[in-house]
Amino acid sequence: RAVVMASVEDFGIVPLEAMACARPPVVFAEGGGRETVLPGQTGVLFQEPTGASLRAAVDSLEGLRFNTSTLRSHAEAYSRQVFEARFRAFVEEALADGFVPPHSPTW
């Protein structure tokens, strides 16, 4: 029914992988998981690193319904293609503004 991530992860890839598989993640609200989960829409966050807090989060799934299309589209917003396109646009904009990286050759 869901994927539980009770650890702290820098990026939050585990919740995104769960969403890509149309499963809501139950995530400890620290680190990257907090940034990739939209509470109630794409997953559930639990605030304290305790069994009781995790249990309450898992129990809250009973009253929630997650749209599989929403889960998948949210995960796709973090895809490699999206990252590359955004990174490329950032670099192109920086270069268009005349940005010269420090220690770059001046040919």
Angle of CA points 30, 35, 41, to nearest 5°: 110
Beta carbons of 13 and 20 less than 8 angstroms apart:
no
Least confident of 8-22, 42-56, 70-84, 88-102: 88-102
> What percent of the chain stands above pLDDT 70?
95
Model pLDDT, residue 105: 64
Beta carbons of 40 and 64 less than 8 angstroms apart:
yes
Confidence band of 104 (pLDDT split at 50, 70, 90)? low
Q: Measuring CA to CA, which residue among 2, 47, 67 is closest to residue 15?
A: 2
Q: pLDDT higher for 102 or 105?
A: 102
List, for residues 35-83, the tens digit of each pLDDT value: 999 999 999 999 999 999 999 999 999 999 999 999 999 999 999 999 9
pLDDT at 106 over 70: no
Model pLDDT, residue 107: 56
Quote the CA–CA distance of 5 and 23 in Å, as a whole number.
13
Q: What tokens appear for 88 in the block?
A: 């490329």
H or E element, residue 35: helix 32-36
Model pLDDT, residue 52: 98
Quote the CA–CA distance of 47 and 82 in Å, as a whole number.
30
Model pLDDT, residue 103: 72
